[in-house]
Structure 1
Amino acid sequence: MNAIVSATELLAELAGPQPPLLLDVRWQLTPPGGRGTTPTGRADYERGHLPGAVFVDLEAELAGPPGAAGRHPLPDLEVFGAAMRRAGVRAQRAVVVYDGGAGPSGGWAAARAWWLLRWAGHPSVRVLDGGLAAWTAAGGPTETAVPSPAAGDFTPRPGGLPLLDADGAARLARRGLLLDARAGDRYRGEVEPIDPVAGHIPGAVSAPTSENVTEDGRLRPAAELAERFAALGATEAAEVGVYCGSGVSGAHQALALAVAGVPAALYVGSWSEWSGDASRPVATGAEPG
Structure 2
Amino acid sequence: MSILISVTELAEQLSRKDLRILDVRWTVAQPDGRPAYLAGHVPGAVFVDLDTELSDHSVTGRGRHPLPSPAALQEAARRWGINPGDTVVVYDDWGGQAAARAWWLLRAAGMAEVLLLDGGWSAWRRAGMPVQTGAVEPTPGSLTITSLDGLPVTDADGVAADAAAEGHLVLDARAAARYRGDEEPLDPRAGHIPGAVSAPTAENLAPDGTFLPVAELRARFAALHAGEQPVSVYCGSGVTAAHQIAALAIAGVPAALFPGSWSEWSNDPSRPVATGPEPG
Q: TM-score range by the shorter chain?
A: over 0.9
Aligned match of 1:82: 75
Aligned match of 1:276: 267
CA contact (8 A) 2:238 2:259 kept: yes
Residue 88 of structure 2 corresponds to residue 95 of structure 1: yes
CA contact (8 A) 2:37 2:134 kept: no
Residue 243 of structure 2 corresponds to residue 255 of structure 1: no
CA contact (8 A) 1:180 1:187 kept: yes
The correspondence of residues 49-60 of structure 1 with structure 2, limited to 5 A, is 49-60=41-52
**2:170 counterpart SS class:** strand
Q: Give the distance between the partners of 2:191 and 2:238, measured in 1 at CA.
A: 16
**1:116 counterpart SS class:** helix
**By how many angstroms is 1:210 displaced?**
1.3
Which stretches of structure 1, 4 residues or more, deviate above 6 A after TM superposition? none
CA contact (8 A) 1:91 1:123 kept: no
Q: Give the distance between the partners of 1:183 and 1:61, measured in 2 at CA.
A: 26
Identity, % of aligned pairs? 57
CA contact (8 A) 1:52 1:146 kept: no
Q: Give the distance between the partners of 1:22 and 1:48, measured in 2 at CA.
A: 14
**By how many angstroms is 1:18 displaced?**
4.9
Q: Give the distance between the partners of 2:174 and 2:72, measured in 1 at CA.
A: 28
Instruction: Supply the AA of the counterpart residue of 2:24.
Output: V
**1:155 counterpart SS class:** coil
Residue 168 of structure 2 corresponds to residue 174 of structure 1: no
Q: How many residues align?
A: 276
**By how many angstroms is 1:76 displaced?**
2.7
**By how many angstroms is 1:146 displaced?**
2.2
Q: Give the distance between the partners of 1:139 and 1:178, measured in 2 at CA.
A: 40
Instruction: Supply the AA of the counterpart residue of 2:125.
Output: T
Q: Give the distance between the partners of 1:195 and 1:270, measured in 2 at CA.
A: 11
Residue 37 of structure 2 corresponds to residue 45 of structure 1: yes
Q: Give the distance between the partners of 1:163 and 1:5, measured in 2 at CA.
A: 25
Instruction: Supply the AA of the counterpart residue of 1:85.
Output: R
Of residues 193, 199, 208 in structure 2, which corresponds to 1:216? 208
Point out the more displaced range, 160-169 or 73-82: 73-82
Q: Give the distance between the partners of 1:24 and 1:254, measured in 2 at CA.
A: 20
Instruction: Return 5+ residue gaps in structure 2 as ranges.
Output: none
Q: Give the distance between the partners of 1:162 and 1:130, measured in 2 at CA.
A: 26
> In the TM superposition, what whole-angstrom CA distance separates every residue of 1:196-227 from its partner, at most 9, and x where no partner exists?
00010011000011111011111100110010
Q: Give the distance between the partners of 1:202 and 1:24, measured in 2 at CA.
A: 36
Aligned match of 1:264: 255
CA contact (8 A) 2:172 2:199 kept: yes
Of residues 189, 194, 197 in structure 1, which corresponds to 2:189? 197
Point out the more displaced range, 110-119 or 166-175: 166-175
Of residues 131, 146, 155 in structure 2, which corresponds to 1:165? 155
Q: Give the distance between the partners of 2:109 and 2:56, measured in 1 at CA.
A: 15
Q: Give the distance between the partners of 2:134 and 2:96, measured in 1 at CA.
A: 24
Instruction: Supply the AA of the counterpart residue of 1:190.
Output: D
Task: Output the aligned Cα RMSD.
Answer: 1.3
**By how many angstroms is 1:145 displaced?**
3.8
Aligned match of 1:5: 5
CA contact (8 A) 2:39 2:134 kept: no
Q: Give the distance between the partners of 2:188 and 2:60, measured in 1 at CA.
A: 13
CA contact (8 A) 1:13 1:19 kept: no
Point out the more displaced range, 144-153 or 274-283: 144-153
**1:151 counterpart SS class:** coil
TM-score normalized with structure 1 length:
0.92
